[in-house]
Structure 1
C-alpha cells in the first residue's frame, strides 16, 4: 500500500515548498510519497483575514483537484487550518489541519501545552481556534515570536533561534509541559536547524508539520483498508449529495473563480 500525500502550501507562492519538503520527507514511512504544492492566483500573505478568505477559495479548489489527481490525503499547510472543514465537505479523502492534528496528539507528549505562533495578529485568532477545538483546559498560553511569514523564509536560522528560546521561556513561565510551534514555517525552520545539528531535539517542542503528516498517512491507510470515511449525516454533508444539480450550478458559476493575479 503506497500512500500519496499532498502538502498544500496555501500562500499563493512556491517560496516555501522546498523548505517544507526538505524537513518533512525524512518522516515518510512505508513507501509513502509527499508532494508539496501551493495555491495559485491568490494572495501570498495569509496573515490578514481578507487575504485568508480569498486564499480559502483556492484551498477548496486545490483539494478537489488533489482528490481527482489520485492523492490519498491533503494537508493544508498553515496553522490557521484555513478552509479545512469546508474542504472536508467537498472531498472524501482526509483533509488535515496542522494545528488540529497537533492538539489531538499533544496529550501523548504531556498534559498541557503552550502555543508559540508567529506574530501578534495571530494570537487572538489561535485563541479562538483553541476554543473551537475544545482545548482550553490544556492550552495554557498563546504567545508569539514577532516574525512574519514573508520574513521567515529569509532567515530560517533566526526563526529557529527565537522559537527555541520562546518555547523554553513560556513553558517555564506557565508551567506547561510541552510547546506547539503554531506556524508551519516556524516548525520547518526549527526542524531544519535540528537536522543541521544547531540544536538538540527537544521532545517538548511539537512540530505541526510532522503531526499532520502522520495523521494524514494514518487516516489514508485506514481509508485504503476500508476503515475510514467521513460521515455525511450532518456537519460534513455535501451539497452534491443533497442536490447534485444545485451543486453543479454553484460549481459552474463560482467554483473555478479565482482572485485576480496578484
Structure 2
C-alpha cells in the first residue's frame, strides 16, 4: 500500500528537524507493507492562517495530489487541517483522507462529545467551518474549536520537536481543561504536526483525567489505511453522485493550465 502525504508548504530547511521527526514518528505505526512518501507544495508562501491563503495553498496541494494518483499511489493524505478534502475527492479516483475529517470521525467512536484545540484563531475558524460542513456539530461541545494562547509560532513548533513540555503542552492543556469543563470527553490536537510530537513525548491524556488527547494525524493515517483496504476489497471508494462525481478530465486540465505558474 502506497500513501502520498501532501504538505501545504514547501520543504523549508529551517524546519528540517520537524520533517525528520514527523517521518520517524509516523513510520512505526503504519501497517507492514504500507509506504508513505512525503511531498511538499511547490511555490507556497508557507502561510496558512488566512482563508485566502488557504484557498491558494489548496490549489498547490491538489496539484501534488493529482500527480500522486498519476504516479500510482493507492491513497492521498492531506497533511493539514486547512485542506481541500472535498475538492480532492471530486477530482481523484483513489481514496483521500484528511487530518480533520478522519480524526473527527474516529472521535465519534471514542466519546460522546469532542473538542478540538488548535494553534491559532484563524485556524480555529477554518476547522469549525469544516466541522459544520461534515455534519458533526451535534457531536461536539459548544464552541467546539479553540486556540491556544499565545498562538503557536515557529519557535514553539521547533521547541516541541525536542520537548513539547517546555511550552506547548501547558498552553494546550489549559484550553483542553476548559473544553472538558464544558462537556468534552475527547480532545483532538488541531494541528498535523503537534499531534505526533506530543504523542511521541508520551502526552496522551489530559493530566489527572481519563480524557484522551488524540494525535489526530496518526489516527487519520490509520483511518486512510482502512479506507484503502475497503476500496481494494470491495471497490467502494466514493460515491459518483453529484458531489464527488469526477469532472471532465480535459476541462480540469485546461483549467489548471489557465492558472499558469500557480499550477505548474
TM-score above 0.5, yes or no? yes
| 2:129 aligned partner | 128
| Alpha-carbon offset, residue 248 of structure 1 | 3.9
Query: Partner residue of 1:144?
Result: 147
TM-score, with normalisation over the residues of structure 2? 0.84
2:115 is matched with 114
Question: Following the alignment from structure 1 to structure 2, what is the Cα–Cα distance between the partners of residues 134 and 117?
Answer: 20
| Structure 2: gaps (5+ residues) | none
Q: Corresponding residue for 1:12? A: 10
Matching of residue 162 in structure 1 with residue 171 in structure 2: yes
For 2:53 and 2:263, the matched residues in 1 are separated by 10
Please say if residues 51 and 126 of structure 2, whose CA atoms lie closer than 8 Å, have aligned partners that are also in contact: no
Aligned counterpart, 1:61: 63
| Change in 2 beyond 3 A, CA 1:123/1:251 | closer
Correspondence for 2:262 among 246, 252, 258: 258
Report Cα offsets for 1:210-258 as digits up to 9, x if no partner: 1211111111122222432222231012222xxx54334324333x632
Tell me: CA distance 1:203–1:176, structure 2 relative to 1, closer, same or farther (3 Å). closer
Aligned to 1:52, which of 51, 54, 57?
Answer: 54
2-structure distance, mates of 1:145, 1:236 = 35
After TM superposition, the structure 1 = structure 2 runs for residues 81-120 of structure 1, keeping only pairs within 5 Å, are 82-120=83-121
Equivalent of residue 247 in structure 1, options 252, 258, 261: 252
In the other structure, the counterpart of 2:76 is 74
Aligned positions of 1:142-221 closer than 5 A: 142-146=145-149, 147-156=151-160, 157=164, 158-167=167-176, 169-194=177-202, 204-221=212-229
Q: TM-score, structure 1 length as denominator?
A: 0.85
Contact in 1 for aligned 2:187/2:214 (Cα 8 Å): yes
Contact 2:7 2:61 in 1 (8 A): no
Tell me the distance in 1 between the aligned counterparts of 2:135 and 2:209.
29
- 1:35 equivalent in alignment to 2:21: no
Distance in 1, Cα, partners of 2:253 & 2:122: 37
| 1:238 alignment partner in structure 2 | 246
Measured against aligned partners, the alpha-carbon deviations of 1:160-219 in whole angstroms (never above 9, x if no partner) come to: 34324432x124321211111111122122123118xxx999761112111211111111
Q: Is the 8 A contact 1:178 1:206 kept in 2?
A: yes
CA distance in 2, matches of 1:25, 1:164: 27
Runs of 4+ in 1 over 4 A off after TM superposition: 199-203
